[in-house]
Structure 1
């Protein structure tokens, strides 16, 4: 399941300075370390499966759905829970964040990020971490696999229309005049790759990527 990363990978040789400069936005990380996902995409609205609320039709594609995942004996409430935990290597934030639920999970994680506890290399690895998390979800959740299969022929988008913040990484917004969704749509793009490659997403992670699991086991 694990795959090692060579820290000298050419597109990830850049300084950690930018990784530490902006604690929450990942847009610059995408531009620097994952340029293939940089920029906006457009999708005809009538051909889209829209991720909005967990309770809605395509809510199973959300990382916040209550679909537990187990990694090396540790259970995570959903894919977002696992993803957020991968940001940290220290016991203090890990044990504080692990019991958190829902949006409180992200708030706690952001708080610890603001205190300087996030992995220094997070900007370089976060999409690989998300690929890993989605792969685990695909392997362990039959309903998720079935929903992806049923979405074939359509685009998957994370609809953030109406939010104050314009999506700079994960979502899209509706251009009602043209009936087109526009945005970076990172989650949607990864989900479509996962679907179209039958659950096979390549990811490369550092050797200490799963140290947080051993800490949680103590």
Structure 2
């Protein structure tokens, strides 16, 4: 069986970066992993705090995609590690969702995003599913602790 997730309201909605599971990382509190991830695109600038403080993850995502902001030059090289760091901290922080992650056993986890061919599987299933891969890696890391 394959585990699919996409929106927060679904069975595995806690796997979404929009899920309301905040955590502390880099000595700051982040309302969602989406807030953290988007803010890291602008590390060392005022944009980090602007994104951290917005009300919801949808707004954080919108701000992170605005190309009027100065995207860090090494973003393509570091984005996977930043996502892994955020997702790991989220599941370390919340025992309830860690148990949901463990309940998936060794099943494949896929972000069933019709629009995202990098983090999700894309509309035709040909996407890289990097968020799903990171969730499976985090599941292994947390099992070994």
- TM-score by length of structure 2 reads 0.86
Instruction: State the shift of 1:130 in Å.
Output: 1.1
Instruction: State the shift of 1:157 in Å.
Output: 0.5
Distance in 1 (CA, whole Å) between partners of 2:50 and 2:84 is 25
Q: Deviations over 1:57-77 (max 9, x none)?
A: 000111110001012542110
Equivalent residue number for residue 73 of structure 2: 120
Give the secondary-structure state (helix, strand or coil) at the position aligned to 1:198.
helix
Equivalent residue number for residue 108 of structure 1: 63
- Tell me if the contact between 2:31 and 2:52 (Cα under 8 Å) persists in the aligned partners: no
Give the secondary-structure state (helix, strand or coil) at the position aligned to 1:129.
helix
Where structure 2 has 5 or more consecutive residues not aligned to the other structure, the ranges are: none
- Evaluate the alpha carbon distance shift between residue 174 and residue 140 of structure 1 in structure 2; reply closer, same or farther with a 3 A threshold: same
- TM-score by length of structure 1 reads 0.59
Across the aligned residues of Structure 1 and Structure 2, the Cα RMSD in angstroms comes to 2.1
Residue 195 of structure 1, aligned match among 118, 139, 142: 139
Distance in 1 (CA, whole Å) between partners of 2:38 and 2:78 is 13
Instruction: State the shift of 1:182 in Å.
Output: 4.2
Distance in 2 (CA, whole Å) between partners of 1:84 and 1:96 is 11
Q: Highest relative contact order (Cα 8 Å, sep 6+), 1 or 2?
A: 1
Equivalent residue number for residue 3 of structure 2: 49
Bigger Rg over Cα: 1
Equivalent residue number for residue 171 of structure 1: 120
Instruction: State the shift of 1:95 in Å.
Output: 3.1
Q: What stretches of structure 1 move > 2 A for 4+ residues in a row?
A: 89-92, 196-200
- Tell me if the contact between 2:47 and 2:69 (Cα under 8 Å) persists in the aligned partners: no
Q: Deviations over 1:41-90 (max 9, x none)?
A: xxxxxx11111210110001111100010125421101111111111134
Which deviates further from its counterpart, 52-61 or 134-143? 134-143
Instruction: State the shift of 1:142 in Å.
Output: 0.7
Distance in 1 (CA, whole Å) between partners of 2:48 and 2:69 is 13
Distance in 2 (CA, whole Å) between partners of 1:81 and 1:57 is 22
Give the secondary-structure state (helix, strand or coil) at the position aligned to 2:109.
strand
Instruction: State the shift of 1:94 in Å.
Output: 2.2
Give the secondary-structure state (helix, strand or coil) at the position aligned to 2:120.
coil
Residue 33 of structure 2, aligned match among 71, 79, 87: 79
Equivalent residue number for residue 103 of structure 2: 150
